[in-house]
């Protein structure tokens, strides 16, 4: 018998879908996967060089500091100052993570007791809800809609019972909708957290992808009083498999999360931390080169979605395109299955991100232009209702 904490927690959607795709490939279908946001481009050569050279040293293979290497923490602080205009103390306000997904779980385990509630965006990253439940809390979805530019409806939230809410998960640029951040929205989020004594947890891995103005919620005046921010090198530096993320916030909060984290792991391999520091020191040319590739791919995805008669906002950012499905389909699952089984192309149904995503699909930009063109050719040969 599994623990009660797993009740209502299913296997991650992509885990099960990838198995299905593997079975189809064994049948010779050669499915093109446009579903998952795993960068297919490599890190900068200097990042890999740093890893190789550090790993060859005899003094880099021991257990590491639970708070991470000072070199990495200083690099994170410098990165935040240059790109976000945020001052962070590398000694006390930064905690390196084995990927930001780890940090989501750590935060929930640090702050939630049974009966506590956490506000979860709908649509939003499914891990927020799963982590809340695994920690013993109750996920309380709040609606994001196109009509409100995928921002929280604070007026509606103010009318609900917030007495048990301890955390609020937010994510801008937003995944899956690609909605950009704004100072006005960030100010409203910080004000909401302060007035209701709610810890705002901002997940910020997409701020550099096809986005000219990277923003941090910590830039807002007084944000450190109520905000913890997660960030990651997975998307911005093509280092998804390296599992390197960061948590930033006030000293007290960092120490609280560290109490839990230090009982869960013993720190990252030092050469990876040193390589991550090299990555964080890259200049504008790096981000421009990555975004030039994604911009070309995004145009191809727009063309693909036109074939499917889906509607989309060209102003969205991040490494996905979010699109409304045609009225002739019941929901995004129906569109996803039709594309998969008729054309051997997989796109993500929006419903996996919450009920408010049922009328949408999401397409990843983590695929070559050649594969996107091939996907369109397959779709062109299919009759769509």
> Exposure string (b/e) for 24-47, b if CB count within 10 Å is 16 or more?
beeeeeebbbbbebbbeeebbeeb
β-pair partners for 320: 364
| 66-125 pLDDT, tens digit each | 999 999 999 999 999 999 999 999 999 999 999 999 999 999 999 999 999 999 999 999
Cite the DSSP H helix spans in 197-281. Answer: 251-261, 270-280
Q: What is the pLDDT of residue 384?
A: 59
3-state helix, strand, coil in the chain (%, to 5): 45, 15, 40
Q: What is the pLDDT of residue 1?
A: 81
- Domains of the chain: residue spans and CATH: 4-42+285-380 (3.90.1150.10), 60-280 (3.40.640.10)
**DSSP of 46-109, one letter per residue?**
HHHHHHHHHHTSTTS-S---TT--HHHHHHHHHHIIIII-----TTTSEEEESSHHHHHHHHHH
Angle at 13 between CA 371 and CA 139, to 5 degrees: 135
Mean pLDDT of the chain: 95
Q: What is the pLDDT of residue 46?
A: 98
| 2-60 pLDDT, tens digit each | 888 877 776 667 678 778 888 888 999 999 999 988 999 999 999 999 999 999 999 99
Q: What is the pLDDT of residue 7?
A: 77
The answer to whether residue 250 scores a pLDDT higher than 90 is yes
């Amino acid at each position: 018998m599994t623990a009660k904490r797993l009740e209502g927690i299913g296997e991650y959607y992509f885990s099960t879908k990838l198995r299905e795709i593997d079975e189809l490939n064994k049948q010779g279908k050669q499915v093109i996967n446009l579903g998952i946001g795993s960068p297919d481009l490599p890190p900068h050569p200097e990042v890999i060089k740093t890893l190789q050279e550090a790993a060859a040293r005899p003094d880099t293979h021991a257990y590491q500091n639970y708070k991470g290497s000072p070199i990495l923490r200083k690099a994170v602080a410098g990165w935040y100052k240059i790109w976000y205009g945020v001052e962070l103390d590398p000694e006390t306000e930064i905690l390196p993570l084995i990927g930001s997904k780890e940090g989501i779980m750590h935060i929930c385990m640090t702050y939630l007791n049974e009966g506590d509630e956490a506000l979860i965006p709908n649509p939003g990253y499914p891990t927020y809800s799963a982590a809340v439940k695994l920690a013993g809390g109750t996920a309380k979805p709040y609606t994001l809609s196109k009509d409100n530019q995928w921002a929280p409806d604070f007026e509606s939230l103010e009318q609900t019972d917030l007495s048990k809410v301890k955390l609020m998960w937010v994510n801008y640029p937003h995944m899956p909708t690609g909605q950009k951040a704004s100072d006005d929205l960030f100010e409203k989020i910080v004000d909401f957290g302060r007035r209701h004594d709610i810890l705002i947890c901002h997940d910020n891995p997409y701020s550099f992808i096809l986005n000219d103005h990277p923003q941090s919620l910590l830039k807002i005046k007084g944000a450190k009083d109520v905000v913890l921010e997660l960030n990651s090198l997975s998307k911005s530096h093509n280092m998804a498999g390296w599992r390197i993320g960061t948590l930033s916030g006030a000293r007290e909060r960092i120490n609280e999360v560290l109490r839990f984290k230090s009982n869960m792991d013993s720190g990252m391999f030092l050469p990876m931390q040193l390589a991550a520091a090299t990555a964080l020191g890259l200049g504008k040319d790096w981000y421009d080169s990555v975004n030039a590739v994604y911009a070309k791919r995004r145009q191809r995805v727009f063309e693909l979605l036109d074939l499917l008669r889906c509607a989309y906002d060209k102003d969205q950012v991040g490494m996905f395109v979010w699109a409304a499905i045609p009225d002739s389909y019941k929901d995004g699952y129906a569109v996803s299955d039709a594309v998969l089984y008729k054309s051997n192309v997989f796109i993500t149904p929006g419903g996996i991100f919450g009920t408010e995503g049922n009328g949408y699909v999401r397409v990843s930009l983590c695929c070559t232009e050649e594969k996107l063109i091939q996907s369109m050719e397959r779709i062109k040969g299919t009759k769509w209702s």
